[in-house]
Amino acid sequence: MNLFNSFRAAIVEAVESLVQAGTLPAGLPVGAISVEPPRDASHGDLATNVAMVLGKPAKLAPRAIAEALKPLLAALPDVTAVEIAGPGFINLRLTPAFWQARLRDVLAAGTAYGDSKVGGAAAVNVEYVSANPTGPMHVGHCRGAVFGDALSALLEKAGYAVTREYYVNDAGAQVDVLARSAHLRYREALGESITIPEGLYPGDYLKPMGAAIAKADGEKWLKVPEGEWLPAFRRLAIDAMMVLIREDLAALGIVHQVFSSEKALHDGGAVTAAVDDLASRDLVYTGVLEPPKGKMPDDWEPRPQLLFRATQFGDDIDRPLKKSDGAWTYFAADIAYHWDKYRRGFGRMINVLGADHGGYVKRLKAAVQAVSNGAASLDVKIIQLVNLLDGGQPVKMSKRSGSFVTLRDVVDEVGKDVVRFIMLTRKNDAALDFDFQKVREQSKDNPVFYVQYAHARINSVMRKAGAVAAESLDGASVERLDHPSELALIRALASWPRLVESAAEAHEPHRIAFYLYDVAAEFHALWNLGNDEPGLRFVQDRDPGLTRARLALIRGVATVIASGLQVLGVTPVEEM
RNA sequence: GAUCCCGUAGCUCAGCUGGAUAGAGCAGCCGCCUUCUAAGCGGCAGGUCGCAGGUUCAAAUCCUGCCGGGGUCGCCA
């Protein structure tokens, strides 16, 4: 439990004892009581809204409640002062010893500091990337990949049992396009000169695949009709693409535990089973849809078709399950996919999707509601676009010619750590600028380097301190860390567990990047105090005890930074 | 037309699921290297939180309606 929640529990207890004493009426709602760090540090260490929240239900003035609580809160361990402020805030001040003890917590836990049990080991499925296996990954996929991976790590840190999953769209027309494109490259590898017709994939990445098949199978697929080679090329091409994609992901440090196949859902009867299941609960019917609004498709004609009652679950229209040729729609397979996830034991699902899937969210949520009878939850995180820039100028990409900026290009250019960190410096639903020039810069403009620099600087001090740092810091006299800036830094470290919990609950890994930046800034500030006042430098040659205490402090900073970077999947650097 | 996202300092963005006097970084101005890494730090200046209502003890935050910018709309995947 984070320290704010511990105090919250103590405050709720105090309220209950006032109820016992008859000062407050029984049956008060305590759910809205919060304990937070005050925005303004001069207000103290903790602030609670308890008196204001209870004012109305208790039919008492907030300040009167606050006055009644004051002696009880003042008697709590570690509390040095209780102040009532503004409309009824209660501000608590804590002893330096309390904060110094938190530093010991950090050192004792190491990078496990911040690990939480709020998740209760609940199973969460995070589906991310799920790029169509028709080519290498490009930068557009990158942000979602990093986001999903960091979110997974964050949820794990918060105590959830996370499964990282990739949904492979290996069914449908695009796979035929891929297979035909691959066959063309195969013919090319056997000496034919080819032209790539409109509608097939022109990218060079298919050349090695064609060559490999030519080498393995010779002219086996050259003279037979398409009906014979197509199934084989479908499988070969998908497999090869998935190898490529896994390599791309590995370059970013991303490994999925589960790859689910759309085709397998069809072949294994899951689609039929899922739709039957819905039909048995009257969630499927045959009806006629209104024509789509906006731009009217040329070939629209109203006709009866199999529909899912998505409107019962908040969607705008009911959604088709079968195409005119009798095949299942993509959405039907998606229903089956989530039906399958639920049956695999996932009561919590998170889908990380690209910006172009915004219109898909309602029907997905409807599907999850339907297949789980309302028991499962789905959160869909839409990842907005990344604008690739170089010195403020847009980087040109042409998807048609097959020459787009690949994920691998970017990782090779600036490195995995930079890509990952930058991708998390904006919340997922806002667009993000990725400027190569800025990202290569080693300055404060570049948040990655700023945070890394703090970590490296700490290591530099440790090296400088030599023998003192070599000894264990466990027994350091942390009570000597009594400067306001030192205590402020400890407070920042001590808020890490709370941040982990709130970021995990909100599914917002970007908060970690911002937090680390703040911690780094606070450390750099303390460092510079030592420039003006030599007595505040970490290493004090004439006072090994004080040196050890301060080294303990900055080791704590390095530990929390490392702990946060670990969640983001970024390697802390020791030296710069 | 429907739907989703965005609108906060000149620029790029945070704002801890409703709290107190709205915060950073760039850019501008003024300072700090005989120093544990100046790859850094301190200070000044900069705001009708798009607009208008509503809910609340309390709204940048929640609700409604507008105004701007962007995405999406299909029997595609």
Q: ipTM of the predicted structure? A: 0.95
pLDDT of residue A470: 65
A430 CA from B67 C1′ (Å):
21
Q: Is the CB of A508 under 7 A from strand B?
A: yes
User: In chain A, what is the greatest distance between 2 CA atoms, to the nearest angstrom?
Assistant: 94
B17: residue with closest CA to C1': A506
Q: Which helix H or strand E contains A432, and what residues bound it?
A: strand A432-435
Tallying the residues shown for chain A, one arrives at 576
Q: For A451-483, what is each residue's pLDDT tens digit? A: 999 999 999 999 888 766 666 788 899 999 999
Task: Pick the range with the lowest mean pLDDT from A122-131, A281-290, A496-505, A547-556.
Answer: A281-290
Task: Pick the range with the lowest mean pLDDT from A65-69, A374-378, A412-416, A466-470.
Answer: A466-470
C-alpha angle A335/A337/A341, rounded to 5°?
115
A362 CA from B64 C1′ (Å):
22
Q: For A165-201, what is each residue's pLDDT tens digit? A: 999 999 988 899 999 999 999 999 999 999 999 889 8
pLDDT of residue A442: 75
Chain A residues 305-334 with Cβ under 7 Å of strand B are: 305, 316-317, 320, 323-325, 329-331
Tell me the C-alpha distance between A509 and A391, whole Å.
27
Amino acid letter, A551: L
Average pLDDT for residues A294-302, to the nearest whole number? 67
B26: residue with closest CA to C1': A445
Average pLDDT for residues A429-440, to the nearest whole number? 87
In order of their start, the domains of chain A are 3-94 (3.30.1360.70), 99-118+442-568 (1.10.730.10), 173-251 (no CATH)
B35: residue with closest CA to C1': A531
Chain A residues 93-152 with Cβ under 7 Å of strand B are: 132
pLDDT of residue A401: 46
Positions of strand B less than 7 angstroms from a protein CB: 1-7, 12-17, 19-21, 23-26, 32, 35-42, 56-58, 70-77
| Nearest nucleotide by C1' position to the A170 CA atom | B77
Q: Is the CB of A205 under 7 A from strand B?
A: no
Task: Pick the range with the lowest mean pLDDT from A294-308, A404-418, A421-435.
Answer: A294-308
Q: How far does CA A487 lie from the centroid of its chain? A: 30
| Nearest nucleotide by C1' position to the A354 CA atom | B71
Phi, psi (degrees; rounded to nearest 5) at A562: -65, -40
| Nearest nucleotide by C1' position to the A456 CA atom | B37
Q: Which residue has the higher pLDDT, A325 or A300?
A: A325
Q: What order of strands is seen across the sheet that includes strand A35-36? A: A35-36, A46-48, A89-94, A79-85
Q: For A71-114, what is each residue's pLDDT tens digit? A: 999 999 999 999 998 889 999 999 999 999 999 999 999 999 99
pLDDT at A404 over 70: no
Six-digit token string for A476: 């350091």
Dihedral, A447, A449, A450, A456 alpha carbons, nearest 10:
150
Q: Is the dihedral of CA A413, A419, A425, A428 positive or negative?
A: positive
Cβ proximity of A8 and A35 under 8 Å: yes
| Nearest nucleotide by C1' position to the A302 CA atom | B75
Q: For A13-65, what is each residue's pLDDT tens digit? A: 999 999 999 999 998 888 889 999 988 888 899 999 999 999 989 999 999 99
pLDDT of residue A19: 94
Q: Is the CB of A536 under 7 A from strand B?
A: yes
Q: Is the CB of A359 under 7 A from strand B?
A: yes
Q: Which residue has the higher pLDDT, A319 or A470?
A: A319
Identify each DSSP E strand in A43-181 by its residue range. Answer: 46-48, 79-85, 89-94, 123-127, 161-168
Residue A162: helix, strand or coil by DSSP? Answer: strand
pLDDT at A316 over 90: no
Q: Which residue has the higher pLDDT, A367 or A532?
A: A367
Cβ proximity of A348 and A158 under 8 Å: no
pLDDT of residue A517: 95
Residue percentage of chain A with pLDDT more than 70 = 96
Confidence class of residue A297 from pLDDT cuts 50, 70 and 90?
A: low
Tell me the C-alpha distance between A205 and A70, whole Å.
70
pTM for the model stands at: 0.95
Task: Pick the range with the lowest mean pLDDT from A38-42, A120-124, A271-275, A560-564.
Answer: A38-42
Dihedral, A363, A369, A372, A375 alpha carbons, nearest 10:
150
| Nearest nucleotide by C1' position to the A447 CA atom | B25
Task: Say which residues have a Cβ less than 8 Å from residue A375's Cβ, sequence separation at least 6.
Answer: A342, A347
pLDDT at A557 over 70: yes
pLDDT at A241 over 50: yes
pLDDT at A441 over 80: no
> What is the DSSP code string of A357-415?
GGGGHHHHHHHHHHHHTT--EEEEEEEPPEEEEETTEEPP-BTTTTB--BHHHHHHHH-
Six-digit token string for A413: 């250019």
Amino acid letter, A124: V
Q: Is the CB of A431 under 7 A from strand B?
A: yes
A60 CA from B68 C1′ (Å):
46
> What is the DSSP code string of A487-539?
HHHHHHHHTHHHHHHHHHHHT-THHHHHHHHHHHHHHHHHHHHHHH-GGGSS-
Average pLDDT for residues A347-354, to the nearest whole number? 94
A103 CA from B75 C1′ (Å):
61
Q: Is the CB of A288 under 7 A from strand B?
A: no
Average pLDDT in chain A: 91
| Nearest nucleotide by C1' position to the A554 CA atom | B36
pLDDT at A437 over 90: no
